[in-house]
Amino acid sequence: MTGALASRALAALFWGTVAVIYLPIGIMAVFSFSAARYQILPIPEYTTEWYGRVFTDGQYTAGFVNSVLLAGSVSLVATLIGFACAYSLVNARFPGKAAFTFLILAPLAVPLLLVGIALRIWTTMLGLQPSLPLAGVGQVLYVLPLAVLNLRNRIAQLPKSHEEAAWALGASRLRAIVDVILPACRASLIATFILCFTFAFDEFVIAYFLTNFSVTLPIKIWTTLVTGFDPTINALGTMVFIFSLSLGVTAQWLLMRKVR
């Protein structure tokens, strides 16, 4: 249908776009091994000094630990709340289901900046101090729609007869959920957790707005960026990129596996 010439042109466009997207990351990775402070070619000397610095600089490691803990808790909470919500959305009847679904998915359509500012203003009014847990709450809001969407799709696919069989065999409602629904959702639950983790880990705006001194890795990277160029960022950026990418790949692979 598409002529051979047009196909060739489109292919060029595609790979050209991919090249442009990945170009700076590649350059950053290359220069993370360069001993020079700036991006000059040819590379005077190869070194892993910057990578070493990342690990020895206490602030980076502290930021990393904070990010992991925060993202881990956020994903756990979001996955659990998302599961309960998804189960009720699929299986229960209640008035206003459409409105509720709209509310749950709304954070996808609202700029993070808005969420961050509104939350900051609101918590200030309530007298709550900015802190890591507070940022966590904001991030749960941010990733919850993803969790609900993912899990809702999966739960809707499960044959109702499995749950009913468990009830008929004497299981209570909750027991049947634990014995039948959760195991069947295992891949989706893990994928959802990883997906939420990835987004929360990389999240900057809400964390920035709702913390003062405790610092996540994205915030630390940010402050380094605006205060002055430090080549360590090249190494750090490369590592964070690979880390997030691996998580994303794993989650995507889990989600796409054929279901029995």
Residue numbers 9-28 binding another protein by CB under 8 A = 10-11, 13-14, 17-18, 20-25, 27-28
64 is written with which tokens? 């990393």
> Is 192 in contact with 36 (CB distance < 8 Å)?
no
> Is 28 in contact with 237 (CB distance < 8 Å)?
yes
Smallest separation, CB 50 to another protein (Å)? 13
> Is 211 in contact with 135 (CB distance < 8 Å)?
yes
13 is written with which tokens? 């466009």
Residue 69 found at the interface with another protein (CB under 8 A): no
Residue numbers 232-251 binding another protein by CB under 8 A = 233-234, 237, 240-241, 244-245, 247-249
Smallest separation, CB 58 to another protein (Å)? 21
For another protein, the closer CB: 47 or 222: 222
Residue numbers 155-184 binding another protein by CB under 8 A = 159, 161-162, 164-173, 175, 179-180, 183-184
Per-position x/- string for 108-147, each x denoting binding to another protein as judged by CB under 8 A, each - no binding = xxxxxxxx-xxxxxxxxx-----------xx-xx--x---
For another protein, the closer CB: 10 or 156: 10
Instruction: Give the range of 34-42, 43-51, 55-63, 68-76 binding another protein by CB under 8 A.
Output: 34-42
> Is 32 in contact with 234 (CB distance < 8 Å)?
yes
Residue 1 found at the interface with another protein (CB under 8 A): yes
User: How far apart (Å, rounded) are the C-alpha atoms in residues 93 and 42?
Assistant: 67
Out of 54, 71, 74, 89, point to the residue binding another protein (CB under 8 A). Answer: 89
Residue 257 found at the interface with another protein (CB under 8 A): no
Return the exposure string of 199-237: e unless at least 16 CB atoms fall within 10 Å of the residue's CB, then b: bbbbbebbbbbbbeebbbbbbbbeebeeeeeebbbbbbb
End-to-end CA, the chain = 36
